[in-house]
Structure 1
Amino acid sequence: MQIDKEQTLFAAARELFLEQGFKKTNIAAITKQANVAVGTFYKYYSSKKEIFYEVYQAENEAAKYKIVSQIDTRQPPKEIIKQFITTIIQTSKQNPILAEWYRNSEVSQLITNHDKNKNAWQDSLVYSFLIENIERWQASGEFRQDIDRKTTLALFNALVVVDNHKEEIRTNNYPQVLEILADMIVDGLSANK
């Protein structure tokens, strides 16, 4: 019975965050939508931020599976990374919950702070996808042999750091900046032929 209420709250919050966004959604609206008392909300979640983070993480994981499944890995590395970045940006824009990361500095800070305390990215599908392809590109000679896998991953992780600080870049064409930076990383890693 308790699991049902938690799932009902989660589903109600997800629906409201999709329809109204983070700022316009409040706990009263979530509990009304879930048809539970406000006190019940606090049995499962300490705040609107906590439930939003949980909803965001679920949306993000589903998006990662969708993104990775759409990538044609028979392409050259530069095209794979370009498709990867473009698909991430498009998916984030199309999903109002994921778009909060780009639109709302309070939300991006919330997610960054939660994720700083975890090394979950190392177990993520995206990380596994990158490792698998980096190893393949190095083995086939498409990537430089003088740069080890750890350093190569650190270069791609730098894109995540840039993404976490996108507000500081102060540009209206941030997605293009990220794509160009990714291209430059792949160009630098590519073996001279």
Structure 2
Amino acid sequence: MNDKKEVIFNYGRELFSSKGFKDINVSDITKKAGIGVGTFYNYYSSKEKLFMEIFLEENVKLKKSILESIDLNGDPLKVIKELMFMNISGINSNPILREWYNRDVFSKIEQHYNEENGIKYVNFVYNSFAELIKKWQVEGKMRNDIDCEIIMAIFTAVINIDTHKDEIGIQYFPQILDYLAEFIIKGLIDCNQ
């Protein structure tokens, strides 16, 4: 039984990667997988649900790869900048994750997924990074007068600004993101506040 779900998942990933979310429908996936449309619905209630499962898995793979490739004991400024820029680079190089930038598509997918599942996001990366921030706060490497949750929200805001690079000005964007990250991180590691 799980074999069919895996087949649907794998062919869905292949098709979404090559053609994008909007240009694929359930019958494309079932035809490629060699199953009936009804079988698809035994495992996934919608194309959106399948896409979100694939998206979340790809996101976890990226974050895990990033965490494994960075020396988390390094200087907080360097570690955080590396994390942020590797995340953006990883999103840009993965066609599934790149759908994040297509706000019309992604907001619909996300809304549909949340209605079916509640807010069940994979947050092992968030928890790992939050623990790192708490460690830095205890060690005096990061301000401890700001709650860890707020610091995490600040980093999320900086990463999400990437979805507005056209409005900011694409020609300035990489430098602006670099400066914003640097200013925020320096403000957070200035423990004399």
TM-score, normalised by the number of residues in structure 2: 0.82
Indicate the SS of the match to 1:181: helix
Aligned sequence identity (%): 37
Residue equivalent to 2:139: 140
Of the candidates 93, 107, 110, which is equivalent to residue 109 of structure 1? 107
How far residue 138 of structure 1 moved from its aligned partner, in angstroms, is 1.6
Residue equivalent to 1:91: 90
How far residue 86 of structure 1 moved from its aligned partner, in angstroms, is 0.9
Residue equivalent to 1:79: 78
- Tell me the amino acid that sits aligned with residue 87 of structure 2: I
Hey, what's the Cα distance between the residues in 2 that align with 1:105 and 1:157?
A: 16
Hey, what's the Cα distance between the residues in 1 that align with 2:104 and 2:49?
A: 13
Hey, what's the Cα distance between the residues in 2 that align with 1:160 and 1:41?
A: 35
Residue equivalent to 2:55: 56
Segments of structure 2 that go 5 or more residues without pairing to the other structure are none
Conserved 8 A contact 1:64-1:126: yes
Hey, what's the Cα distance between the residues in 2 that align with 1:112 and 1:176?
A: 30
Of the candidates 157, 164, 167, which is equivalent to residue 166 of structure 1? 164
Of stretches 56-65 and 176-185 in structure 1, the one that deviates more from structure 2 is: 176-185
TM-score, normalised by the number of residues in structure 1: 0.82
Hey, what's the Cα distance between the residues in 1 that align with 2:126 and 2:100?
A: 19
Conserved 8 A contact 1:64-1:125: no
Q: What do the CA deviations read for 1:30-76 (whole angstroms, capped 9, x no partner)?
A: 11111001222222223222211111111111111111111122321
Indicate the SS of the match to 2:2: helix
Conserved 8 A contact 2:99-2:106: yes
Residue equivalent to 1:149: 148
Hey, what's the Cα distance between the residues in 1 that align with 2:105 and 2:191?
A: 42
Q: Structure 1 residues 18, 128: closer, same or farther in 2, change over 3 A?
A: same
How far residue 135 of structure 1 moved from its aligned partner, in angstroms, is 1.8
Residue equivalent to 2:121: 120
Residue equivalent to 1:44: 43
RMSD between aligned residues: 2.7
How far residue 179 of structure 1 moved from its aligned partner, in angstroms, is 3.9
Alignment of 1:18-33 (within 5 A): 18-33=17-32
Indicate the SS of the match to 1:90: helix
How far residue 112 of structure 1 moved from its aligned partner, in angstroms, is 4.3
